[in-house]
Structure 1
Amino acid sequence: MNKFDVIVIGAGTSGLMAAIAAAEDGSQVLLLEKNKRIGKKLLLTGGGRCNVTNSRSPEEIIAHIPGNGKFLYSAFSQYDNQDIIQFFESNGTALKEEDHGRMFPVTDRSQTIVETLHEKLKELSVTLYTEAPVKKILRNENQIIGVALEKQKIYAPCVIIATGGKTYPSTGSTGDGYRFADKLGHSIEPLYPTESPIRSEESFIKKKTLQGISLRDVQLSVLNQKGKAIVSHQMDLLFTHFGISGPAALRCSSFVNQALKKNPGQAVQLSLDIFPESSEKKLFAELQKKIQAEPEKQLKNSFRQLLPERLLEFLLEKNQLDELKGRQVTDQQLSDFISEMKDFRITANGTFPLEKSFVTGGGISLKEVQPKTMESKRMQGLFFCGEVLDINGYTGGYNITAALVTGHNAGKHAAEMAEYMRYVIDDY
């Protein structure tokens, strides 16, 4: 009979770490991957460089995981981002820190991270089956007993589901884990795209008026029905042919989707502050000084250093200032123009779909998962980790950190349980 202590389904970020942690704790581990290669999605992260974690404090990291980050406090108390850094560096992979605490391999290659994890699997004698899709998770009443592949059954008292979400389906993230969990009695919170470019049907978007314009360090806010900011992010932004992208848009996207869900059929208002570090009063004084210095100049020439040319022309035209000279502009007109730059409204009609987004929101309900061990509250011997859980964070190493932390804890606790439960499958 084919027996193991722990079976891990999915050789992505969380599954690789789960298999390693379980093996380090002394378990005989089987890692199953339906692709030909392991870590397929991990290879794509960080633009192919792999932003493997973030150096900030655990509290800051959790704050950057808006999708149920608080669930991770118990997990972080056992294994955190500093442990992740130590893991890679102690296994021969030097990391370097970049802006906002982002940690990358010194080689700037995602392949380095995957190879490190793969070498660790071999060192710990983890059994790896690739091209091995799981058809069913086996159970005996309320106890996990193994998995069924296409042509064989493999037994173990503990199974870890690490199958990822539904983004980048070409990497194998096709929602298998949700189906397994559902059949085993778990609730699945509705899935939605996060860290996704935002679509807009504004006329200036459709006409591609601002397409390709990139803005540095601006503030984008998602507004509620009363015009109050739900969330704001000060980062870079890019106008595209479909709407907006860039870090600020990606970070606001999950809130756009949640607002659309809350008010079906109603578009969501975004507010763009192009100069978040300057007050309207300060901007008024600066622009008035420019006008007074050259009153005969047209505004588009006086203000040419203020904004990218096409954006400046668009905003001047929108405020009927495009043909005016400085001396012709009233204080009220100048104030209105500044208000437009500080509160440029963009209507959001949605985001890219799940398969074209970076991260899956929603997933296995955390009410049914033990936060310390990642074990199911409904099925003994069943564990979860990574993106299959209803946890999602911003880009910047936060999602990978959550995946590695939950993977490590799931693997460690599955190994501990397997040590006491091997007898459960003796009759199967």
Structure 2
Amino acid sequence: MNTDVIIIGAGAAGLMAACCAGEAGLNGLLIERRHRPGLKLLLCGNNRCNLSHSGTAETLIQEYGEPVGSFLSTALQECPPAVLRKWFGSCGLATTVLKDRIYPRSGKADDVLHCFTDRLRDLEVPLMLNCPAQKIAAIPGGGFEIICGKVRMQSRFVLVCTGGVSYPKTGSVGDGQRMAGELGLRLEPYRAGLAGIEVSNQWLQIRSSREEAGIPSVRIRIFSQGREIAGTEGNLLASGNCLRGSAIFDATRILARRNISDFSLLMDLFPDLTMQALAQNLEAAWRKTKQAAATLNALGLEHVFSAGLSQELHTGFAAGDFTGVATALKAVPLEDVSIRPLKEAIVTIGGVALDEIDPQSMESRKLPGLFFAGEVLDIDGPTGGYNLHAAFASARLAIRMIAGKVHSPAAKKARKNRPSDDARKPPNAGKSRKAAWGKKFWDGYLR
């Protein structure tokens, strides 16, 4: 058995894991079902790749909420945002912070992917593309066999980084969860996390010629069973009757994580203004324009209202009831809300149940030697880089634990006493791993 670890899935978690495996001196192999790595990574942060969120491990743990925060505690303590930025910097990727969100300085997701692939090339970590893993089988006596069509590969350890099930065209189709279930691990049902919504509020539809427009900051109040249970704040993007943006995404994550189906939403279009301040601003703008639409445009709501203002707003302006208009704008009921399907969600809630995994190592409790990292697990976070950070941190922890096992004195002694594997080595195994596994691939890849 010549391979220390096979990493399944070349997304965010898999790419980080493969780099860390190479840095740890492991004989690793990264396999990917699609024709190129990092397809979903290229979509993150509107193609800008929001890598993480500034702060400490403790602040991140709090933002994930329970049970995810506690589960990721060890991984986050070992890889807080500062450590992650330092690692990317050492690999040649400069980062910057914009509104507490960490991005590549170039603002291009392509540069993040190139950072990973350049590092893998330098470390001579082999990558097999168009290689969908179909089955993981435990080998009596230790180790695993991975079946990819007619190809069978063996490894001492396996790290599953196959992601969730949203954006299936990128390769996230649930292979890892399926194989985990076949091995007896419990799975949590899938739900759409960080998803858009559709509403029937006709007067909220876009009236501009632009495809999408919105408001920099709104607050969403979430109600269930007659009481307010949570709130989110962020930007709002609208296209037709579909609403998106961080305020909406974080609200749908809360609903999915808590399994709430009976809910209502109120939207505050001016969360930074008190009712009195907003009423005064409305009155001042009205005196200049004497038109309701122009008054709202003056306050930054242009491009938001398409089918005319609601009757409530028309009546308020006509009567000079600016407090009433302010009240309406700070509590807009979103009507007939439906959450967009899972395949369109930014993240998947559900997957391998957290109680199946040791959070100190990311190793399966039932099958020692089988590890998981990233969105294949039932982990998720709010918008702002939390989900990529969870993928990176969990992958780094898993590889550190695998490296500790591979390089332990007991493991070294066992390998020394084991009969030679020379007869089982692939052709050219005496050459460097880069020559044996894909020099031609890496020399021409993405350049």
- The normalised TM-score by structure 1 is 0.86
Task: State whether structure 2 residue 362 is matched by structure 1 residue 374.
Answer: yes
Q: Give the structure 2 partner of residue 233 of structure 1.
A: 232
SS in 2 for 1:409: helix
Higher mean alpha-carbon deviation, 219-228 vs 396-405, is at 219-228
Q: Deviations over 1:31-77 (max 9, x none)?
A: 11111211121122222222222222222323333471231111122
> C-alpha distance in 2, partners of 1:49/1:342?
32
SS in 1 for 2:351: strand
Mapping of residues 53-64 of structure 1, within 5 Å: 53-64=52-63
Is the CA contact (8 Å cut-off) linking 1:96 and 1:105 kept in structure 2? Answer: yes
Q: Give the structure 1 partner of residue 376 of structure 2.
A: 388
The change in CA–CA distance for 1:305 and 1:9 in structure 2 (over 3 A counts) is same
Answer 1 or 2: higher relative contact order, Cα 8 Å, separation at least 6.
1
- Structure 1 position 239, deviation (Å): 3.1
The change in CA–CA distance for 1:298 and 1:18 in structure 2 (over 3 A counts) is closer
Higher mean alpha-carbon deviation, 109-118 vs 141-150, is at 141-150
**Equivalent residues, number:** 412
Is the CA contact (8 Å cut-off) linking 2:8 and 2:162 kept in structure 1? Answer: yes
> C-alpha distance in 1, partners of 2:225/2:141?
46
- Structure 1 position 262, deviation (Å): 3.5
Task: State whether structure 2 residue 24 is matched by structure 1 residue 25.
Answer: yes
Task: State whether structure 2 residue 190 is matched by structure 1 residue 195.
Answer: no
Q: Give the structure 2 partner of residue 16 of structure 1.
A: 15
Is the CA contact (8 Å cut-off) linking 1:218 and 1:273 kept in structure 2? Answer: yes
Q: Deviations over 1:113-171 (max 9, x none)?
A: 21221222222232221111112111046954231222232111210000000111111
Q: Give the structure 2 partner of residue 339 of structure 1.
A: 327
- Structure 1 position 299, deviation (Å): 5.5
SS in 2 for 1:35: coil
Higher mean alpha-carbon deviation, 184-193 vs 344-353, is at 344-353
Task: Give the aligned residue type for 2:221.
Answer: S
Q: Give the structure 2 partner of residue 90 of structure 1.
A: 90
Is the CA contact (8 Å cut-off) linking 1:25 and 1:415 kept in structure 2? Answer: yes
The change in CA–CA distance for 1:86 and 1:226 in structure 2 (over 3 A counts) is same
The change in CA–CA distance for 1:145 and 1:418 in structure 2 (over 3 A counts) is farther
Instruction: Report the identity percentage.
Output: 29
Q: Give the structure 2 partner of residue 283 of structure 1.
A: 278
Task: State whether structure 2 residue 354 is matched by structure 1 residue 359.
Answer: no
- Structure 1 position 180, deviation (Å): 0.9
The change in CA–CA distance for 1:28 and 1:350 in structure 2 (over 3 A counts) is same
Task: Give the aligned residue type for 1:321.
Answer: T
Gaps in structure 2 of 5+ consecutive residues? 425-447
The change in CA–CA distance for 1:288 and 1:79 in structure 2 (over 3 A counts) is closer
- Structure 1 position 417, deviation (Å): 2.2
Is the CA contact (8 Å cut-off) linking 2:203 and 2:309 kept in structure 1? Answer: no
The change in CA–CA distance for 1:303 and 1:153 in structure 2 (over 3 A counts) is closer
Q: Deviations over 1:312-340 (max 9, x none)?
A: 9955622551782xxx54xxx54432221
Q: Give the structure 1 partner of residue 69 of structure 2.
A: 69
Task: State whether structure 2 residue 316 is matched by structure 1 residue 317.
Answer: no
> C-alpha distance in 2, partners of 1:48/1:354?
20
Mapping of residues 3-402 of structure 1, within 5 Å: 3-66=2-65, 68-98=68-98, 100-140=99-139, 143-204=142-203, 214-228=214-228, 230-257=229-256, 261-263=259-261, 266=262, 268-287=263-282, 297=290, 305-306=298-299, 308=301, 311=305, 314-315=308-309, 317-319=311-313, 321=315, 324=318, 328-329=319-320, 333-347=321-335, 349-402=337-390
SS in 2 for 1:177: helix
SS in 2 for 1:223: strand
SS in 2 for 1:262: coil
> C-alpha distance in 2, partners of 1:94/1:323?
51
> C-alpha distance in 1, partners of 2:146/2:226?
51
> C-alpha distance in 2, partners of 1:304/1:208?
13
Q: Deviations over 1:248-269 (max 9, x none)?
A: 111212224456x434xx4x31
Task: Give the aligned residue type for 1:58.
Answer: A
Is the CA contact (8 Å cut-off) linking 2:201 and 2:241 kept in structure 1? Answer: no
- Structure 1 position 303, deviation (Å): 6.2
> C-alpha distance in 1, partners of 2:396/2:26?
13
The change in CA–CA distance for 1:142 and 1:161 in structure 2 (over 3 A counts) is farther
Higher mean alpha-carbon deviation, 9-18 vs 79-88, is at 79-88
SS in 2 for 1:214: strand
> C-alpha distance in 1, partners of 2:40/2:213?
29
Q: Give the structure 2 partner of residue 418 of structure 1.
A: 406
Gaps in structure 1 of 5+ consecutive residues? none
Is the CA contact (8 Å cut-off) linking 2:206 and 2:305 kept in structure 1? Answer: no
Higher mean alpha-carbon deviation, 67-76 vs 176-185, is at 67-76
Q: Deviations over 1:254-311 (max 9, x none)?
A: 224456x434xx4x311111222222233345555677x68x9566666662453664
SS in 1 for 2:72: helix
> C-alpha distance in 1, partners of 2:200/2:296?
28
- Structure 1 position 102, deviation (Å): 1.9
Q: Give the structure 1 partner of residue 442 of structure 2.
A: none
SS in 1 for 2:78: coil
SS in 2 for 1:39: coil
The change in CA–CA distance for 1:413 and 1:167 in structure 2 (over 3 A counts) is same
> C-alpha distance in 2, partners of 1:148/1:380?
19
Is the CA contact (8 Å cut-off) linking 1:41 and 1:168 kept in structure 2? Answer: yes
SS in 1 for 2:46: helix
The change in CA–CA distance for 1:84 and 1:199 in structure 2 (over 3 A counts) is same
The change in CA–CA distance for 1:163 and 1:348 in structure 2 (over 3 A counts) is farther
Task: Give the aligned residue type for 1:308.
Answer: L
> C-alpha distance in 1, partners of 2:113/2:174?
22
SS in 2 for 1:82: helix
Task: Give the aligned residue type for 2:375.
Answer: E
